[in-house]
Amino acid sequence: MSAAPSEPAEGGTEVPPPRPVAQPEPTPVPTLNVANLLTLSRLVLVPLFIAALFAGDGTETFWRATATALFAVASFTDQVDGWVARKYGLITDFGKIADPIADKALIGAALVGLSVLGELGWWVTIVIAVREIGVTLLRFWVIRHGVIPASRGGKAKTMAQIAAITVYLLPLPASANFVGWALMGLALVLTVVTGVDYLVRALKLRALGDRTGTTS
């Protein structure tokens, strides 16, 4: 059966059917953008932070305050780069990978530094390091199937770690030690719980990717 002809307009002239409007292709997001530059700046601040932490045998108030300030600035960029990326549409696969790596480099350097100075038990550093390295390896393991975004629990874990480390870095009196212990305990719990959650999500994504690849 043939399609019905176009309705003639007044005067017998047929109205041509409307032409489909071509949709413009989305502009690709450049890898070198403000959000990713903020992430890279966090990596640059890590060696400066370590140098300040160990200056003056790690005990001089000025250098501890300087190390704390550098750590705080670097941690602040973690909040800013994510906000900038979401607000201005600058989310890239590079940023999804580089951002957590920069976080782990900063937090790992702080934990190792505090343990070397004898202010934090090595077992705490090892537990957190194993979780962070494991999650990084999982990211690369499933990268062919997709990128797992940070969860709310993961963000809470990072904030707890930052708060605990900041308290440990500050030149506070011994009477304030319990604050650091409490925050670090919370950070440890969130570290383990979110690590298990990430492992489960990575396994599900990998299994889904394998099934899709097999059936396609």
> Tens digits of per-residue pLDDT, 7-61?
555 555 566 666 665 555 556 777 778 888 888 999 999 999 999 999 988 889 9
The Cα–Cα gap between 166 and 158 comes to: 12
pLDDT exceeds cutoff 90 at 4: no
Greatest mean pLDDT among 60-69, 86-95, 99-108 lies in: 60-69
Q: Which residues does residue 14 pair with via DSSP β-bridges, in sequence order? A: 8
The Cα–Cα gap between 79 and 121 comes to: 28
The Cα–Cα gap between 140 and 98 comes to: 12
The Cα–Cα gap between 77 and 74 comes to: 5
Contact 166, 111 (CB under 8 A): no
Greatest mean pLDDT among 15-19, 75-79, 104-108 lies in: 104-108
pLDDT in tens, 141-199: 877 777 666 677 888 998 999 999 999 999 888 888 899 999 999 999 999 999 998 88
The Cα–Cα gap between 185 and 183 comes to: 5
157, two tokens: 């874990």
Residue whose token pair is 């343990």: 115
pTM of the predicted structure, to 2 decimals: 0.75
44, two tokens: 């640059």
Residue type for position 36? N
Residue 18 is predicted with a pLDDT of 65
